[in-house]
Amino acid sequence: MKKGIRTAALLVMAIAIIMSGCSAAPQANQAPDNMAAAATTVAQTTVAAATTAAAATTAAAATTAAAATTIAAAAATTAAGVAPADVYFNWADGNNVGGVAGTGSIGQQANNERYIEIVENAEVPVSSQSMFTFSMKVDTAAYSNIQRYIENGSLPPADAVKIEEMINYFRYDNDLAFYSNDPFAISTEIGRSPFGAGKYLAYVRVKARDIDKEQLPPSNLTFLIDTSGSMSSYERLPLLKTAFGMLVDTLTEDDTVSIVTYAGTSAILLDSVNGADKLRILDAINSLDASGSTAGGEGISSAYRLAEKNFREGGNNRIILATDGDFNVGISSLPELEQLVAAQRGNGIYLSILGVGMWNLRDDIMETLAKHGNGNASYINSVQDAKKVLVDELTSNLYVIADDVKAQVELNPDHIKSYRLIGYENRALDNRDFADDTKDAGEIGVGSDVVLLFEFELNGDNGSDDGSELKYAAPVQNITPAIRGGGNGRGDGGEVATLQQTGSDYPNELFEIRLRYKNPGEAESRLMLHPVGVEQLSNQSNSSDFRFAAAVAGFGHILRGSSYLGGVTIDGLISEAQSSLGRDAQGYRYDFVKLLMDYKNIR
């Protein structure tokens, strides 16, 4: 249904563009008959396009109804979203139709998109390294981009497939308990791995605390909009006008909006307009046209200067950059752009990236800006995508609950032989950087879900020492003082303990999850600890959240042509995803099942 709606929406948008071009005031020498003929042509085009859109929507509805019947039948075999463990092990059933990503039926289309290289995480023996550390943040651009490729009958390049962004595109159902004033709750679950016989999969979910909208701080928003010539097609600037219109509708009189545009040069279109003056803001947005080259660096500098001038103490100060990333004038190289935004990240101004377009998308630039500019990145290919990012998940994407969030996992060599982190390749940190508050890391938004998956094999030797303090190794190790106890690493009394233990003193622990974060505006980080016991190995079944996240990871393995794919097949993934839909209030998991079916059809 949503694909049909997308088709109809894009056709209507195209019609609007045609009509706007034909409704311009006539020139002095323009004959009335010519105007009448033009109007007749527009009317005929409108009727034909509307008929096509309706037919596409009807066809999509029929396909959706058939798929819904299949999904309902599969879901009926489970109780409360939990299936027996043996269902989880049947992923290898069916035909393996996986292949090398980056090929497909639109191979003849010129593709000038660029992505930062991803070198897949390898399996690591605990005897050589028993700890890993990475920056935590919630980007979701990769999933929407992959969806765009497949819905257009093609496969994404392997480096476009960022498995952590695919998993974190979705929300997860299980309610978690928060302790005291912690901004996060942590939960873990262990099940059999679909990727390797005899191995286990660890599911770690970090849930950020929700905040009532009435309690959110006022916003100082600066819209930085690319109006260069490459933005002229319907899925770029016209789509962004709709997207920003949705965001403007959520603003209040406590918010302010500025607009900076850039093409060959940058220009300030609005400066600190009250959020209640929606007509003025919308008029400015709808007046935008695309032409010229792309001086993105100059636009970014102008936006930061304006955001700093209008800075609100205690407020949500954020630049929202909307672009296809195709910078070609002035500062445009990745090192230059990294330096430009990194110099600004300590000033309390955050950066959100809205990526649009196809075939010349500069994902490498958007990833660099989001990573080094205290930001997040989303990709918008439809009105539905815009609604998800800027309306349904507004607070998660635009309001920060914690800065410089880092995750670290230490594995107990008494029990674990090897491990493999799934995704997060380009967010890895040195283990010694975990406790270094000068090292930049990711920002997490209000109410966000961040999921980590890693595969491990049991029965190992002693862990390694890379200079970081190890909990599970002799001799006695001093662990940074932290709050201990409770489901989230916090005891009932909030007691502080310095841990001085050897590996043998933790015979019942498999591994420990550690989080470091800073409250917004603070310079010193706080630590949360979450040890995971061996009792989780005895799980006889896994939740729908666990199984769905694993299915998404499995699809990422297929798209990347991973050497760790094992016996995972597309048919097995479809079955697993169908049986783990959960509550799925927004229908995103259902859309994933449809995406798997679309992938199978183009292979």
pLDDT tens figures, 551-587? 999 999 999 999 999 999 999 999 999 999 999 999 9
What pLDDT shows up at residue 326? 75
Of 398, 424, 441, the residue that ends a domain is 398
* 498 found inside a domain: yes
Of 398, 414, 433, the domain-final residue: 398
- Among candidates 590, 414, 570, 441, which has minimal Cα distance to 516? 441
Reported as a single tens digit per residue, the pLDDT across 215-225 is 999 999 999 99
Measured CA to CA, the distance from residue 505 to residue 495 in angstroms comes to 20
Instruction: Using DSSP bridges, classify how beta strands 256-262 and 266-274 pair: parallel, antiparallel or unpaired.
Output: antiparallel
Non-local CB neighbours of 87 within 8 Å, separated by 6+ positions: 78, 576, 579
Q: How far apart are CA 420 and CA 196, in angstroms?
A: 11
443 in Cβ contact with 521 (< 8 Å): no
CA-nearest of 106, 120, 105 to 159 is 120
Kindly give, in sequence order, each residue whose CB lies less than 8 Å from that of residue 169, ignoring residues fewer than 6 positions away. Answer: 140, 142, 143, 144, 552, 588
The amino acid at 41:
T
Asked if residue 146 and residue 236 are part of one domain, the reply reads no
pLDDT tens by residue, 487-498: 333 333 333 333
List the CATH number of the domain containing 332. Answer: 3.40.50.410
d(CA 78, CA 390): 34
Asked whether residue 168 falls in the same domain as residue 303, the answer is no
Residues 220 and 204 in one domain: no
- Please tell me the predicted confidence (pLDDT) of residue 112: 82
pLDDT of residue 333: 79
Q: Are residues 61 and 135 in the same domain?
A: no
Residue 333 shares a structural domain with residue 234: yes
Same domain, 448 and 375: no
**Same structural domain, 330 and 203:** no
Whether 358 is covered by a domain: the verdict is yes
152 inside domain: yes
Residue 226 confidence (pLDDT) above 90: yes
- Determine whether 106 is exposed, middle or buried from the number of CB atoms within 10 Å of its CB (0-12, 13-18, 19+): middle
Enumerate residues 6+ apart whose C-beta is below 8 A from 263: 226, 227, 228, 229, 290, 291, 292, 293, 294, 295
User: Containing domain of residue 7, as a range?
Assistant: 2-75
Rounded alpha-carbon distances, angstroms, from residue 61 to 58, 310, 381, 395? 5, 47, 20, 31
Is 426 in the same domain as 501? yes
Rounded CA-CA distance 598/592 in Å is: 10
* Residue 114 maps to a domain: no
Handedness of CA 593, 597, 602, 603 (dihedral sign): positive
- pLDDT(20) > 90: no
Is the same domain home to 523 and 416? yes
Q: Is residue 516 part of a domain?
A: yes
Q: Are residues 362 and 238 in the same domain?
A: yes
Query: How many domains are there within the chain?
Result: 3
Q: Which of 398, 428, 446 is the last residue of a domain?
A: 398
Angle, in degrees to the nearest 10, between helices 237-248 and 278-286? 180
Distance separating alpha carbons of residues 285 and 288, to the nearest angstrom: 6
In whole angstroms, how far apart are CA 557 and each of 398, 550, 567, 603? 30, 10, 11, 15
Q: Is residue 558 part of a domain?
A: yes
Distance CA 202, CA 539 (A): 12
User: What stretch of H or E contains 321?
Assistant: strand 316-323
Neighbours of 485 (CB within 10 A): 16
Are 232 and 471 in contact by the 8 Å Cβ rule? The answer is: no
Q: Are 193 and 259 contained in the same domain?
A: no
Straight-line distance from the first to the last Cα atom of the chain, in angstroms, rounded to the nearest whole number: 22
Closest residue by Cα to residue 257 from 293, 281, 229, 232? 281
Stronger pLDDT, 418 or 460, i.e. the higher one: 418
pLDDT at 81 over 50: no
Q: Is residue 360's pLDDT more than 50? A: yes
Structure tokens at 322: 């909307």
Is 113 part of a structural domain of the chain?
Answer: no
- Sign, CA torsion 333/386/594/195: positive
Question: Which range has the worst mean pLDDT, 355-369, 431-445, 477-491, 586-600?
Answer: 477-491
pLDDT, mean of residues 230-243 = 94
- Looking at the domain assignment, is residue 112 inside a domain? no
Question: In this structure, are 232 and 139 located in the same domain?
Answer: no
